[in-house]
A and B are shown apart, each in its own frame.
Chain A
Amino acid sequence: MSAKKRGIWVFGDYRNYFQNRVTLQLLSRAQELAKKIDGEVCAVVFGHDVDEYVGEYIAHGAEKIYLTKHPDLKHYSMEIYTFLMERLARRENPEIILIGATAFGREFAPRVAKRLGTGLTADCIGLDINEEGLLVQMAPSFGGNLVAEIVTPERRPQMATVRPGTFQEIPHNYVRTGEVVRTPMPEGTPAERVRLIRSERFPQRGGKLEDAKVVVCGGRGMGSKKKFAKLFELAELLNGEVGATRPVVYAGLAGHDSLVGQAGKQIRPQILFSFGISGAIQHTAACHDARFIIAVNKNPNASMMKQADVAIVADASQICTTLIQELKRRIRS
């Protein structure tokens, strides 16, 4: 009788290793899930000079590494990676595949899921195992006002993507050992049809919003572009940065750089001012690490107000103006 453990795979997304910790965060969560289904935590690594990452993934909890090394894999390659992942999954039949929702992962995961004919839940904010042993994928739903618990009842593997910062990585332990299963580049691997002409490191935009001690976030409730602009004045007085919600960014009141949310920046300020924001999950999931939240909204029942330490029931723009006046007075005196 086969005593093969059920594989919980994490895709090794090692590009930007020091900034991008999502693989390590998923390995941490995978270990929790493995306890509930007698699973085996595995990382899948495709690349060329990748031994360093193999070691790191084992140190962070991978029991097994599926490794394919080849000079052609020096750069991330969507079609070849998809081909390799499909073959490997068909050979090993993992129970679960978790992929970090990086730009690459968010394109790679749906393609792998399609090839394998299985389901995929995007941007999970939680993962668990239910009493039937199914992976429960918690995802924002219905415009972010609700969380949906989604399962893939029959098809395998069960697949999910998770945004960076959703789970905590566990500290490394270099004493740990793991098995490395090497698979050579298969014969007949199709050539990549999308040609990479140039790839340059994107100028880092400072990560100011992510590291700010004070963030002033504005949503649709600020009213107009003119009123939204007042948030910049307030932020300056507070030595802070301005963040925005998606509707505001779409309306062109703020740049995409200031988007706080699953599709934008994760913030962890000491103090978060939230003006006229209802609190869709895609937004709140990116600011749950804020230590102290002051929310202003006309609607006392808005989700953001419930999560705030101080909930101010008032017009966001008026409070912003009054705060600016009061701060100026106090700073001057």
Chain B
Amino acid sequence: MLKMVVCMKQVPMASELPWDAATGTLLRNLAEGMINPACRSALEAALRIKAAEGGEITAITMGPPMAEEVLHEAIALGADRGVLLTDRKMAGADTGVTSYTLARAIEKVCPEFDLILCGFATIDSETAQVGPQLTEELAIPGVAYVDEIEVCGRTIRMQRRSDNFLETLEMDLPGLITVTTGVHAPHHVPLGGLQAAFDKADILSLAAEELGLDPERIGVKGSATRILNVYSPTAAKKNLVLTGAPKRIVEQLFERFDDKLGGAIGKDLKTGKRS
């Protein structure tokens, strides 16, 4: 029976993220949250291992109180319990600090873990750094960007695409993997399960002090990087704007650029003017 920990992050569903111009931070409370897609794949991988080998899944997340939602969803999908790390002091963490915080929490709530699964990256920050850094924090072997997983006793075999190579790798547990979204198509949340998950979920909420974290090493304070400035990169080109009925727009496009278009595709597009 494997003890598994799945690290999850709640990310905003909107692509146009609202943010506070004054502080340069996300106004997360305004956005609908969802489980980050790759974290969802990590959970799916854990669920399949559980189904095949037997096991116990702890879903863990760090974030504002509303991040608890992803734990309910994880439990509805088949995770056994959830752990929420929430504390204002943890806010604004960079990846180094996040991995420190997660590592100490995992050591506290699931010290006998066999396998830790993370999504390879999140869609809101996309650094792909937390998984590899968590591997370092826990001083265990780890592999990132895993596409396929096969557990055999105390050994895990993995396949991944790494640059131009298809690699098959193996390591002994305990270990950590970060999985791609290609790993498994996630199944849907059963509605009945979701109700049950909200009614009687085993969710533990922990703050910085309860984790025994060094206050100097967490949140914004502990982060090595600083955001100096945030700007919109759009340097507007002097361009041609076409509006109106689609038919008229397309006609104008050909009237002006038939040479350019025809040249690029190696076809004469001028002849249409006859009609």
Contact = CB atoms under 8 A, between A and B. Distances in A.
Interface in B241-264: 241-244, 246-247, 249-251, 253-254, 257-258, 260-261, 263-264
Contact of A280 (B15, B143, B226): B15
Contact of B171 (A102, A103, A194, A305): A194
15 contacts: A102-B163, A103-B163, A114-B136, A120-B225, A141-B230, A143-B16, A146-B19, A147-B231, A149-B227, A150-B226, A151-B225, A193-B141, A195-B170, A238-B265, A307-B237
B274 interface: yes
A103 B160 CA distance: 10
A148 B229 contact: yes
B230 A214 contact: no
A195 B171 CA distance: 6
A325 to B, nearest CB: 8
B272 interface: yes
B196 interface: no
Instruction: Name the interface size band of chain A.
Output: 35 or more
A153 B226 contact: yes
B246 A322 contact: yes
Contact of B253 (A240, A310, A315): A310
A95 interface: no
Contacts of B265: 213-214, 237-240
B272 A326 contact: yes
Contacts of B144: 106-107
Interface string A100-116: 00111011011101110
Contacts of A150: 225-228
B169 A194 contact: yes
Interface of B: 12, 15-17, 19, 24, 26, 37, 94-96, 99, 121, 123-130, 132-133, 135-137, 141-145, 157, 160-172, 181-182, 223-237, 239-244, 246-247, 249-251, 253-254, 257-258, 260-261, 263-267, 269-272, 274-275
B33 to A, nearest CB: 14
Nearest to B171: A194
A327 B244 CA distance: 19
